Structure 1
Amino acid sequence: MTKSDLKELVYRVNGAAIEVHKEIGPGLLESVYHKCMERELELRGIYFETELVIPIDYKGLELDANLRCDLFIENQLVLELKSVEKVLPIHEAQVLSYMNLLDVSMGLIINFNVTNIFKEGQKTYVNHKYRLLED
């Protein structure tokens, strides 16, 4: 996947989140936004896996740690959904760890518990150990 492909994918996912937020607003449970995002991604023809179990290989032993990525988009993008007052450093560490474990270069946290999701609710994370192909 090229840089511009990934940028376009992030743009499309953000558009889906904006649509969900516009339709149902802030203040609901994360599980509600999760279901709505699944539907919006389907409507937009964006492939995803939901609640993807993330394997952990620790020194040759595969651990059943029950880690789950909210949405894994197009096998390229980790998407963690939140409905919290504030995204905390532990939430950021979570998405970065998932990116490393799934061996992908980009992740998003979308927090639906904000007034303006475009300005306040989305943050992109880049795993700098990966080089994307130039366009």
Structure 2
Amino acid sequence: MSELAEDGTSTSGGEAGVTRGGRRGDLFDPTCATRKLLDRIGTKWTSMVVKVLAAAGELRFTELRGRIPGVSQKMLSTTLQNLVADGLVARRVEHTVPPRVFYRLTPLGDSLEVPLAALREWAERHMPEVDAARADVRRAAES
């Protein structure tokens, strides 16, 4: 197992022993690929948009919003803009009056469904344990 020295370097060396200088797998470095991905997809709204579009295919903005309870128009709009900018969602506009805007996952966005489904599966299996642990801490704090 790798341990970190005071300067942030690994004391064990090897691939697992990365420094904070930006090499692979270093979550402390803002340029780390994993950290950048988590920054982009780590919101509940992003996960929900990916799930809905993976199941439904192409949807209009209003249809998408109707399938994501609790999301505001502004939050969905911002989330979609970010996903389009990241190449995970494609936006198609039909030039009608008013314009009709459709969203669908790109192949890159579609490839996110499997890891996100694994997270959902983990949550469904383990959140009762997490909730119980939180309740234990809450009860201990109250006594």
Q: Structure 1-normalised TM-score?
A: 0.27
Structure having greater relative contact order (Cα 8 Å, sep ≥ 6) = 1
Structure having the higher strand fraction is 1
Which has more radius of gyration?
2
